[in-house]
Amino acid sequence: MEIIKRQPRKEAHPYIPELKELYRQGRITRKEFLRNATLLGMSFAAASAFLASCAPKPTEAPTPVPPTATPVPPTATPVPPTATPVPPTATPAPTTAPAAGPKRGGVLRIAGPVHKITHPAQYSWVVPSNQTRMICEYLTYTDKDNITHPYLLEKWEASEDLLTWTLYLRKNVTWNNGDKFTADDVVFTMNQWLDPDVGSSILGLMSYLTPENIEKVDDYTVRLHLSRPEIAVPEHLFHYPAQILHAKTFEGDIIKAPVGTGPYLLEEYVAGQVFRLKRRPDYWQMGADGKPLPYLDGMVWNDMGTELEPQIAALAAGEIDMIDLGDAAGLPVYLALKDNPNVQILRVT
């Protein structure tokens, strides 16, 4: 008879209890605890639960004071009941409307710069990455609260000394040409980052890593052997030039071979003019309605130049849906549109 032994449960990173104690002593904030715990491999939900378990105990209620022995005399004059009945309200009780599902369809029209695009790892500014990230994606995602989550990764683990990082890839991800997303793609992309001839800004950011220290463990596991301890590895994987590339088709120009894991397909690109995307029908992530994302049929960036007045007029007239300011100053746009009830001003921090 074959005996199957349950694998022992992997414990949290040994530094996490120390983080918990620092929080309990008031030496770090809740946000600092969550950031560092998630970087060390805990999910946000697990880190939040861990934090709740060390919340201060509620203070005990004070001992009630016994009532005084002196009785309170009754009032001499009873208060008569009101003679005027309160009429019922005329408004009927509201009925609970069914929750509206997500709306699908439409093309988001954006006025914004369309720069020359070739190699994502060479990006020196966030604007072109915002366009190609609809085609190619990142291993992780850092949200507005500075908490980093898995994206193309399922999870990651860090060694106690922070010198070894193990990355576990999602197994349900496919490229838009039908190929499976595997560790070969991650190793290939990281080698692009670290190639001096490519000239990526990640080369300096990840100076703790060399191509020889990137290990493919299996088709869905990559292990990084660092030259020095580094806690921010998951955050670095969301650096804007860190889009993951297809190992079999990428030859230095994403426009010539726009194969990615993202929700859109490249339909048209002319530097200085237009960047047009259409919906990918077989994207790997599902929406709230149980169907593949994205909800939009497409997105298009129209480069209207650096003059803001035509863009403001086009937005006010409903000819575009959004102004992506890019390198332009936002104050003139804000002043021109802040009182327009049909315009929503979004601030990205």
pTM of the predicted model, to two decimals? 0.80
* CA 329 to each of CA 78, 304, 323, 324: distance values in angstroms, whole numbers, following the listed order: 73, 15, 12, 11
Average of per-residue pLDDT across 194-207: 95
Q: Is 74 left (phi over 0), alpha (psi -120 to 50) or beta?
A: beta
DSSP structure class, residue 325: -
Q: What mean pLDDT, rounded, does the chain reach?
A: 84
Give the pLDDT score at 347: 67
Residue 232 has pLDDT above 50, yes or no: yes
Task: Summarize the confidence of residues 64-90 as an average pLDDT.
Answer: 38
Identify the DSSP state of 342.
Answer: T
Find the mean pLDDT for residues 225-251.
Answer: 97
Region 208-213: mean pLDDT is: 98
Going from the N-terminus, what domains does the chain have, and what CATH number goes with each? Answer: 16-52 (no CATH), 107-303 (3.40.190.10)
Q: Token pair 């005996």 is at which residue?
A: 3
